[in-house]
Structures are given as structure tokens and as C-alpha cells.
Structure 1
């Protein structure tokens, strides 16, 4: 009897959606596509933190609130999951939107309401407000 080859599952994107990274947030990170909604941009930014992709985080940040100093991401930070709790606006029909989420990491979580706007047709992160649990 010849053994059947094992199927290797393609891991889903770190953002929590079931698609593989390359078909999900990877498209936005590489510049092949732009995030179509504020939620998609927020998910792609979470994934950029997971993957330590500081250039993408800066590119997707609003020019008026983007840090001047280089981003220093902690390679020891272990992100463990993303939960989108609420969205308001942020669709193809809006110029602004908010996304409330919880991003978990080993040892804790961040609960934030992020604001997004369109700049030249593309969604960008403006700022966020931490929410106490």
C-alpha cells in the first residue's frame, strides 16, 4: 500500500480571517491591493505588528499623525489574537470610520477604538483611544 501524501494546511492570516496571509493582509502589505474598508486596514495593521512590518505601519498612518521617529517594534512581543468588537462607518461609502478591537498578546490585551480616514481614496489610521476593561 502506497501512503497518501499529507495535505499541509495553509495557515490562516494572523488577522483572524480564514484566508491565507498572501490572499488576505499580504496583498495590502505588498501594495498589490489597498484595504477596501477601515476594518480591513485595521486587520492589516494588526498583522503588520505580528510580522514586524514597520514600513507598512508607517505607510498606512495618516500623514498628520504619523510618527516622525522610526517605529521600533519589539521582536519579543507575541501577539495571540484579534477580536473586532464594533465598527462604525469605514465602508466604501464613507470618508471616516472607527473600529473597536481587542488585540491579545502573551500576558495581556490592548482594547482600543481606532479612527480611520480616507486620504486620496485610501484608508489610513489616524489615532486610537485606549479603553479600560
Structure 2
């Protein structure tokens, strides 16, 4: 893969691949969110599990269902709308985004405000607000 799913202006190897190999390389909540979007595009459920707050991590069946779903859609693009906190020295933050994908011939939009926190000194997805 050449272009990164989270930002087609960057190469995957210079962007999310770094975080997929070493989760501690995500120094902000937005970088974590972008790396998770790329993992959705790549159907990398192992990374999605690893980057999820351990106490809220999906169980094996939910992870299996998630993998099946990620493989059933064609991801189009990611738009980051807003971030609150979530910088290197913060311990929590939120990222509002829209992820566009094609499912059964129709464009769908996942619009979410995600909460992130630090666990074991690295950013993880916590949950969504609302």
C-alpha cells in the first residue's frame, strides 16, 4: 500500500504503519484515531483490539463480527472535524470525525465524537460520546 488511508497525501509506511507496528508512536489522540481508521480500512482487527481501552475491549465474537463488517465495506475517506485536548502531555481527549464508506452501493457516513485516554502510557480508544 502506498498512500495512507487516513491521509492520501502521506505514504502509509511514513504514517499509520509506524503506529500499527508500535502503538506508543501515537503521541496524540488524533494520531490514534487516524491509525484506527486506517486499521478499519485494512481490516486489522488485532490492532483495533490492541488500541481499545482494555476494560471496554470487544470480546472475540464482537471482534469477529467487526472484521466481517470492515471487509464488507469500501472505505472512501476520513475527515477530522475537531479535536479537544488529546495532545502529548494530556491524558484524555476527544476527536470528532466523519468516515465515509460505500456499503451495498450506497455512501454511508459514520459521524462520531470519540473519547481517547492514556493506558499504559499510550493513547487508546475509550468510547464514543452520545
Deviates more, 1:76-85 or 1:65-74: 65-74
Secondary structure of 2:79 counterpart: strand
1:49-71 C-alpha deviation (Å, 9 max, x unpaired): 00000000000000111112241
Q: Does 1:67 align with 2:69?
A: no
Out of 79, 83, 99, the position equivalent to 1:83 is 79
The list of structure 1 runs, each at least 4 consecutive aligned residues, that deviate by more than 6 angstroms after superposition, is none
| Bigger share in strand | 2
Uncovered stretches (5+) of structure 2, i.e. residues with no partner: none
Q: Point out the structure with max Rg over C-alpha.
A: 1
TM-score normalised by structure 2 residue count: 0.86
Out of 100, 103, 115, the position equivalent to 1:104 is 100
| Bigger share in helix | 2
Uncovered stretches (5+) of structure 1, i.e. residues with no partner: 1-9
Contact 1:27–1:33 (CA under 8 A) maintained in structure 2: no
Q: Does 1:38 align with 2:29?
A: yes
Equivalent-residue separation in structure 1 for 2:8 and 2:119 (angstroms): 26
Count the aligned residue pairs: 121
